[in-house]
A and B are shown apart, each in its own frame.
Chain A
Amino acid sequence: MDGEHLIYLYCVMARPPDLQSVEGPPGGLYLVHEVGLWAVVSQVEASQFGPSSLRRNLEDLDWVVAETTKHEKIVEAVMRDRCVVPFRFATLFHTDESLRTRLRTHAQEFMTLLEELEDKAEWGVKVHCDVEGLRSVVRAQDGSMSHLNEALRCASPGKAYFLEKKRGDLAIAALGDRIDRCVGRVVETLQTVSFQMRINKVWFPRATRIHDSMILNAACLVGNDNVRIFVDAANALKAHYADQSVLVEYTGPWPPYNFCDLARQVANG
């Protein structure tokens, strides 16, 4: 595959961007234009991005970090003054022509989506809970538990076994309830300050910090004029849960990756 090239797609928009100000890969960025759509692409070596090479490269974390960072920087730079449909990492086409064909096929959907995304950006909200800490909070506030604790103190060994089990079950249920309520409140609040919201899979427990579990991984599509309101709402939630072993974190603005299912359709044919 040496010497062969593939076309790497970063994003699509309805007006041509100024690529002069965007730092691209060694071969440079260029535009593929079709039916009122402009796609920012670059040529990449098949020896790097061809299926078998990509598979191998993905095992190399340094490569993954360097390449995904480049990808993000390019999309963000274009997004500064254009509404874009961002594509995910390593969306590849064999030729400009095969990309044109996809753009033509989905032209109307791109136009509709770009209108929806105009003047909006994605914000990420993640909620973590310190499970042990939250367990203590629940234990301290739950009246039925203290009642059980009392009963346990004067119970016979046989009865104590069942009471113990009941206490354990109650504790788990109370914890689950507490988390549900917290997630529900965060989701409801953020929905009122977002155009759309996506709930994503949570990261594996212990991913980010010891003893922490992620309980919500949401993406919000927020109007650029509404950012202040969104951030205030997120900060209010953060403050509300601060002493309950629940941490609310937000990041943004991001390209609206989570609101471009069309990009996935186009990438997958």
Chain B
Amino acid sequence: MDSVTATEKDVTLLELLDRVLDKGVVVAGDLVISVADVDLIYVGLRVLLSSVQTMERLRGSPLVDAWSESTP
């Protein structure tokens, strides 16, 4: 598992970005920002934000697959 841990400051920043940026922000290793018509811009932040699952999809495959992979 990746050893990326966000600090308290990052979390606050991410809370802000989650709201202030118009669309979801995606990350897998690098931060990908999508703002208005600007799509998929990489930013060198080794943290987060998402885009895929909504509550309705919680039982759907992506998350559960991710968990089952780590099932001992």
Chain A residues packing against B (C-beta within 8 Å): 51, 54-55, 58-61, 64-65, 68-69, 71-72, 88-91, 122, 124, 131-132, 135, 168, 171-172, 175-176, 179-180, 183, 187, 199-211, 213-217, 251, 254-255, 257-258, 264, 267-268
Residue from B42, B50, B53 in contact with A207 in the complex, judged by beta carbons closer than 8 Å: B50
Residue from A171, A172, A204 in contact with B26 in the complex, judged by beta carbons closer than 8 Å: A204
A264 pairs with B68, CB closer than 8 A: no
Question: What are 25 A-B contacts defined by CB distance under 8 Å?
Answer: A51-B38, A61-B43, A68-B17, A88-B20, A89-B21, A124-B15, A131-B70, A168-B68, A168-B71, A176-B59, A176-B64, A180-B59, A183-B55, A199-B54, A201-B24, A201-B52, A202-B54, A203-B18, A204-B52, A206-B2, A206-B48, A207-B6, A207-B50, A257-B19, A267-B22
- Which residues between 49 and 66 of chain B lie within 8 Å of chain A, taking CB atoms? 49-55, 58-59, 63-64, 66
Report how many A-B pairs have Cβ atoms within 8 Å.
Answer: 142
Q: How many residues of B contact A (CB 8 A)?
A: 51
| Bound-complex Cα distance A96 to B45 (A) | 35
With a CB–CB cut-off of 8 A, which chain A residues contact B59?
Answer: 176, 180
A90 pairs with B1, CB closer than 8 A: no
A204 pairs with B43, CB closer than 8 A: no
The residue on B at minimum CB distance from A207 is B48
Q: Report the minimum CB–CB distance from A217 to chain B (whole Å).
A: 8
With a CB–CB cut-off of 8 A, which chain A residues contact B26?
Answer: 204
A64 touching B43 in the complex, CB below 8 Å, given contacts A172-B67, A175-B67: yes
| Bound-complex Cα distance A169 to B15 (A) | 35
A176 touching B58 in the complex, CB below 8 Å, given contacts A208-B48, A210-B4: yes
With a CB–CB cut-off of 8 A, which chain A residues contact B42?
Answer: 59
| Bound-complex Cα distance A89 to B20 (A) | 5
A216 pairs with B55, CB closer than 8 A: yes
Q: Which of A199, A207, A255 has the most CB of B within 10 A?
A: A207
| Bound-complex Cα distance A135 to B64 (A) | 12
A209 touching B6 in the complex, CB below 8 Å, given contacts A215-B58, A254-B19: yes
A205 pairs with B63, CB closer than 8 A: yes
Q: Which of A64, A69, A267 has the most CB of B within 10 A?
A: A64
